[in-house]
Amino acid sequence: MQLIKDYFEKLTPISDEEADIISSMMERKTFKKNSLILTAGEVENYIYFIESGIVRFWVEKDEKEISSAFVFEGSFFSSYPSFLTQKRSMWNIQTITPTVLWCISYSNLQRIYKQISVGERLGRLVAEHLATMLFYREASLLMETPKERYLKLFSEHPRFIQSIPLKYLASYIGVTPQALSRIRKRIS
C-alpha cells in the first residue's frame, strides 16, 4: 500500500487517516503469468493499481490478438469506459508476467468520494491520467513510425520490455513479428 500512498502524494497531499480509509476499501490480488483479468464482453467493476508486473490490453480482430496498451508497475489501469458506464468492455486485459494488483470496486470508489475530502480530487487526477494515456497512444499511432513507437517504449520501460513477447510488441506498434525483428536488428 505504501507504493499507492506515494503515488497519491505525488498528486495531492493525503493524510495517513485518508490513506488508511482508501486502503481498507482496496483488495490485493495476485495473478499468474497470462491470466485474464477482464474478458471482452464483461463489465469492468474495478480500477487497479499495479504493485508488480505487466498488464496488456488487447482486442481480437480477424482471429488475431491486437495489443493496444501495456501498463507497468506503479500505475493505475482499468477498462475505464466500461467502469464508468457499467456497460460491457471491448477490451481483454491480461497479465504478461506474474502480477500483484490492488483493486478498488466501483461501489467502494463511490464511498471514498463521499467519505474523504480529498477522494474526489484523487479520483479526478487518476481519471485524467488514464485519459492522457489514451490521448498519447492515439497521437503515437497517428504521428510516429513503428520504429519510433518501439524506441519510445524501450526508452520508457527498458527493464520491462524483455518480459513482453515479441508478438505482443509487434501488434502494439502495428507490424508483424518479422518486421519488428528487422527493426530490432537495425537499431542494435
Give the span between the Cα atoms of 154 and 44, in whole angstroms: 29
Give the CATH number, domain containing residue 101: 2.60.120.10
pLDDT at 40: 97
Q: Classify residue 79: in a domain, yes or no.
A: yes
Instruction: State which residues form the domain around 82.
Output: 2-121
- Whether 139 maps to a domain, the answer reads no
Q: Is residue 46 part of a domain?
A: yes
Number of domains in the chain: 1
pLDDT band at 93 (very low <50, low <70, confident <90, very high): very high
Look at residue 66 and tell me if it is in a domain: yes
pTM: 0.89
Buried b (16+ CB within 10 A) or exposed e, 138-171: eebeeeeebbebbeebeeebeebbeebeeebbbb
Any domain includes 137:
no
For residue 175, being part of any structural domain is answered with no
Residue 160 in domain: no
Segment 8-67, tens digit of pLDDT? 888 888 888 998 899 899 999 999 999 999 999 999 999 999 999 999 999 999 999 999
145 within a domain of the structure (yes/no): no
